[in-house]
């Protein structure tokens, strides 16, 4: 789902300082309240800024068959794609207390695919790039490597 930003989320100049992280965190907290978590009772909200300046959000959606539960990041990327696509440029994820949490390994891979190595991540250690979160990541460009010529 694409969200209306709770105020400006970018400022002139680009880079880490161009993102209004407080506004992005607020968007994540708002969508976290919509999480469907009857089993874990652990709601998670995620928000990201796209290269077009849009804010996309997602929350976790649990299922009684635990393996098919959707993380907030999955929900966010689904919203990105159904909203017309684009690239993620800044990302945050929060728990029910509004505290930053790190994406799981599966979701780090998903974020890499849709944001790349320069995606800014609001991590528990501060703002970093996806390349710092997932060094040496496997991406679409790696799919052709190692294939034999026939």
Whether 113 is catalytic is no
Of 4, 8, 62, 73, catalytic: 73
Q: What is the 3-state secondary structure (H, E, C) of the chain?
A: CEECCCCCCECCCCCHHHECHHHHHHHHHHHHCCCECCCCCCCCEEEEEECCCCEEEEECECCCCHHHCECHHHHHHHHHHHCCCCCEEEEEEECCCCCECCCCHHHHHHHHHHHCCCCEEEECCEEEEHHHHCCCCCCHHHCCCCCCCC
Copy the structure tokens of residue 131: 């390349």
Question: Residue 16 — φ and ψ, nearest 5°?
Answer: -60, -35
Active site positions, annotated: 73
């Amino acid at each position: 789902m694409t969200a209306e930003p709770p105020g400006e989320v970018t400022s002139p100049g680009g880079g880490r300082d161009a993102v209004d992280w407080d506004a992005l965190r607020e968007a994540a907290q708002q969508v976290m309240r919509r999480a469907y978590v009857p089993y874990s009772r652990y709601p998670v909200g995620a928000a990201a800024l796209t290269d077009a300046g849009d804010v996309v959000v997602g929350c976790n959606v649990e299922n009684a068959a635990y393996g098919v539960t959707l993380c907030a990041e999955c929900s966010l990327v689904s919203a990105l794609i159904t909203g017309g696509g684009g690239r993620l440029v800044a990302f945050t994820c929060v728990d029910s207390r509004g505290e930053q949490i790190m994406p799981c390994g599966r979701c780090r891979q998903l974020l890499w695919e849709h944001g790349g190595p320069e995606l800014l991540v609001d991590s528990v250690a501060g703002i970093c790039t996806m390349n710092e979160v997932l060094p040496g990541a496997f991406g679409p460009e790696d799919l052709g490597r190692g294939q034999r010529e026939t």
